[in-house]
Structure 1
Amino acid sequence: MSFSDAMRTVRDSLSARTVYAEPYERDGITVIAAATVIGGGGGGSGDQPKVDGAGFGLVARPTGAFVIQHGKVSWKPAIDVHRLVGLAGAVTVALVLAHRRGR
């Protein structure tokens, strides 16, 4: 894969289709799921013939969904329970350490 091919793949991967799912409709309600997508790529070549390299990375996580019902649009955020529990644990540890240090 050439560098330009790799960059084209990165560009195509970071399109609106990656962020927004196809609308799903049922019983008069339309849902459009959305995600946060972070990505990047790079590449280069060496002094030797046929020594080229390229690559990219992509991270996506659900963000929420737009819900269209009775002509009104609302946003329903996705809640990452594991992340929320981890954050609560980190805050608790920080508070305990700060309290101990204050003695």
Structure 2
Amino acid sequence: MDVQELLTGARDAITVRRVFADPYEKDGVTVIAAATVAGGGGGGGGHDAEGEEGEGAGFGVGARPAGVYVIKGGDVLWRPAVDLDRVVTVVGAVLITFLLTRARVARARLDARPRRRR
């Protein structure tokens, strides 16, 4: 695969159709799903000590649900997608960090207190 083919594939991969799904209509309500799409790529070329030339490139795309637009009676509502796995992961990480640092903070406070003489 040459670089031009890679760029063509990347251009085709990141389109508005990756972000917004086709509208779905039922009973007078239209729903349009939306996603967050990100991509990146890189490439390069060069030659070795014997003068042999080479080139290479790569590209990747990732997508996550963002939510849906709900159109009903002329009103448009945004309903965000909630990634429960991500919420649980973040809450768990915060809780673990709190538990691990709580003892250190308590120890630092005790060490910082002035000592009384008897």
- Normalised to the residue count of structure 1, the TM-score between the two structures is 0.91
Contact 1:65 1:76 (8 Å CA) reproduced: yes
Paired position in structure 2 for 1:62: 65
Paired position in structure 2 for 1:86: 89
Task: State the secondary structure of the residue aligned to 1:21.
Answer: coil
Deviations 1:49-87 (A, max 9, x none): 5x3322101111001011101110000000101000000
Contact 1:39 1:56 (8 Å CA) reproduced: yes
Task: State the secondary structure of the residue aligned to 2:21.
Answer: coil
What's the C-alpha RMSD, in Å, of the aligned pairs?
1.2
Unaligned runs of 5+ in 2: 107-118
How many pairs were matched up?
102
Unaligned runs of 5+ in 1: none
Bigger relative contact order (CA 8 A; separation at least 6)? 1
Q: What is the Cα deviation at residue 7 of structure 1? A: 1.1
- Normalised to the residue count of structure 2, the TM-score between the two structures is 0.80
Paired position in structure 2 for 1:20: 20
Larger radius of gyration: 2
Provide the C-alpha distance between the structure 1 equivalents of 2:89 and 2:42, rounded to a whole number of angstroms: 32
The sequence identity of aligned pairs, in percent, is 49
Contact 1:35 1:60 (8 Å CA) reproduced: yes
Task: State the secondary structure of the residue aligned to 2:31.
Answer: strand
Paired position in structure 1 for 2:35: 35
1:98 to 91, 98, 101: 101
